[in-house]
Structure 1
């Protein structure tokens, strides 16, 4: 337990962290990778280049300081991050290394303002928070390995099918190389994929949602090729998977993880809203609902540029014919002439509150949404304006956790 004096000292640093948090975390990563370049095998290099990882860590440190006297308030965030840590292979021995360089970065950025009392208080707090992560992650590692079909760390899976779903998204059907049964997963969860790219010094790990329902003899990952997006660093792993892998190749996978999961005990209507490749966990949820609870009312809304970028369109339209409780709507912001001629979409432009209210029967539903951050901010804002309670708004960030 932290002393009241340490709690008071850490709370006094909240305004400083609000201003200098990202500067501190940028310096932290510089120092960490200089001293321990082997840790580059764990981190997403693209997120580092874009500053997403630094911002996410700054937000986490700020939240820890703000709630240091009631850490139970950030326990949901701890569990969310712990899922990612487990899937990446973060181990207890990494925490002292991180703590050492985080304190050094605080001292380096703040200079004389980082007094010995402040550094000591943060060292104590970090120790408590690290212990919480280590404990939660130990349970997750045990559960991942002990479950039927489970495994520790990374396991070899063979690509048994590779299917182009749209101009930018390809699905990979994967089965264990050893022929063992698959570990179960919850609709909405993801796996980490570890690859070695020829010519690169470090391995790369990326997390991809499982896009098929549980109970199939395979895992399916549906990956967007990211080098086709302007003003963003090329996605090395997505390009590698699209261009350099073929059926029969082997990928290394972690056991399924993640807390963005469908509540299958809820009997109320469910609304699944996605943008771009954010539809992958939603498709898993939709297929699961159709297979296990076909009478539960489902509204599936997907936003894409146009039909060329729209994966699983035909599959979902065919599924809705079999299950009358499922309704679907497509929003295209850049429809092609063919899309217009074929009436291939329901709304041109972006999702808005008035349009949502016209197609969703009731706000008394469970809402799940995923996609680019600006898209999720717009959806979250619309649902909040519609007075959908926070506990009924569920969302997932692809990459480091951000804020809506």
Structure 2
């Protein structure tokens, strides 16, 4: 055998090994792609690495008094403040799932200065479950520019009136948006003050699943609006499996790319295409409505399974998914019979409801019927009302679970002729 023949045989052997390696890699890659496309988990994805705390343990009904033990400003602009809350009775605290919220009953000053009135608001818990306290982080909401709307009543009340030692009435943690059990890698996406439930999830992972792969995308305008920056950076520096990406859409002149932030622009799917390896991630998103509407639709268009997209919108916003069956359901709900009669038993009023009348809460208010309400998004349960007869349907899934035989008027519409205890 000549030297040339030997060289050719060696080259052929190397080529066969490379070809075999590439073939196996391609097959594994294709299997992963197929699982992602059809929403199938990887072998270990559905196996919980640790049990989540059960929200039902040591709970309470109604409102419970808590003392403000500490206040901490979390951003350089002083617009986000954390409140550490301890129960006045010093009894055991109900645990919660990372991502859930607290409901507050607040006695806020009236605009005309004639006294106070009660309002109900919900705020996400912003830390992993603790045994002796809760934490919420509230952003001051200013009055919109060039508009007659007043500033946010509850957020400004927290910032201006709730000091250390103040007492707050709080309902037990609740909500259907939380980190699902399992060991699959997660993408936490926050916009603005939407960081609060994401931070609860991140901190929980660091305590209970420090080996879990976490990507944290945080979108704000610039460094003045970045909350918990040192905390986030410290976790990312200490944990190689935590990947932090600060995204500034309008950086200040002194903000330096690569030092103060990682990406100039908004959080979007194009950024995910660049940054993320091909894995069956679960996406958790919380932020302003425009961000939510854009991201959820883009992730669906990208091929992310519906079961891997979890989100919570601010306020009464409702983010629509692009599933055919959902579209059919929405169509049926959006166009019910136009001759439905709604009877308000206590008020002695009866009126014809139409799809243009909006929710039952809006309809009642249009008839001059006062209904106690808070979040107007199905979260606080303040507008829970007994159904004497008939049926209702929900325009969006409420976070608060109403008692049997009742409905949340803020997110429900009549399905048949209905009589309400209102």
Q: How would you bin the TM-score normalised by the shorter chain?
A: 0.5 to 0.7
CA distance in structure 2 between the partners assigned to 1:163 and 1:247 by the alignment: 10
Q: From the superposition, tell whether residues 288 and 378 of structure 1 become closer, same or farther in structure 2 (CA, over 3 Å).
A: same
Contact 1:363 1:388 in 2 (8 A): no
Contact 1:149 1:180 in 2 (8 A): no
Aligned to 1:391: 307
Shift, 1:202, TM fit: 2.9
Instruction: Tell whether 2:124 aligns with 1:209.
Output: yes
Within the candidate set 293, 303, 314, 2:209 is matched to 293
Aligned to 2:63: 154
Contact 1:363 1:386 in 2 (8 A): no
CA distance in structure 2 between the partners assigned to 1:229 and 1:247 by the alignment: 29
Q: Deviations over 1:173-229 (max 9, x none)?
A: 000011111111000000111110133553011100000001342100000111165
1:27-46 alignment runs, 5 A limit? none
CA distance in structure 1 between the partners assigned to 2:155 and 2:58 by the alignment: 27
CA distance in structure 1 between the partners assigned to 2:292 and 2:109 by the alignment: 35
Shift, 1:322, TM fit: 2.1
1:99-248 alignment runs, 5 A limit? 147-166=56-75, 167=77, 168-199=79-110, 202-227=117-142, 229-230=144-145, 231=147, 233-248=150-165
CA distance in structure 2 between the partners assigned to 1:323 and 1:343 by the alignment: 18
Instruction: Tell whether 2:269 aligns with 1:360.
Output: no
TM-score when scaled to structure 1?
A: 0.61
Contact 2:68 2:164 in 1 (8 A): yes
Q: Deviations over 1:31-82 (max 9, x none)?
A: xxxxxxxxxxxxxxxxxxxxxxxxxxxxxxxxxxxxxxxxxxxxxxxxxxxx
Aligned to 1:373: 289
CA distance in structure 2 between the partners assigned to 1:317 and 1:157 by the alignment: 31
CA distance in structure 2 between the partners assigned to 1:371 and 1:401 by the alignment: 11
Select the structure of larger CA radius of gyration.
Answer: 2
CA distance in structure 1 between the partners assigned to 2:278 and 2:144 by the alignment: 36
CA distance in structure 2 between the partners assigned to 1:212 and 1:316 by the alignment: 12
Q: Deviations over 1:138-164 (max 9, x none)?
A: xxxxx98xx443211111010001011
TM-score when scaled to structure 2?
A: 0.59
Aligned to 2:5: none
**Number of residues paired by the alignment?**
259
CA distance in structure 1 between the partners assigned to 2:260 and 2:297 by the alignment: 27
Higher helix share: 1
Shift, 1:234, TM fit: 1.5
Q: Deviations over 1:254-276 (max 9, x none)?
A: 00000001012x22110000100
Within the candidate set 245, 266, 275, 1:329 is matched to 245
CA RMSD of aligned residues (A): 1.8
State the SS of the aligned residue for 1:284: helix
CA distance in structure 2 between the partners assigned to 1:301 and 1:366 by the alignment: 13
State the SS of the aligned residue for 1:315: helix
Q: From the superposition, tell whether residues 401 and 391 of structure 1 become closer, same or farther in structure 2 (CA, over 3 Å).
A: same
CA distance in structure 2 between the partners assigned to 1:323 and 1:294 by the alignment: 8
Contact 1:303 1:332 in 2 (8 A): yes
Q: From the superposition, tell whether residues 159 and 202 of structure 1 become closer, same or farther in structure 2 (CA, over 3 Å).
A: same
5+ residue gaps, structure 2: 1-53, 321-422
CA distance in structure 1 between the partners assigned to 2:206 and 2:242 by the alignment: 8
State the SS of the aligned residue for 1:227: coil
CA distance in structure 2 between the partners assigned to 1:273 and 1:342 by the alignment: 19
Shift, 1:342, TM fit: 7.2
Aligned to 1:251: 168
State the SS of the aligned residue for 2:169: strand
Contact 1:182 1:218 in 2 (8 A): yes
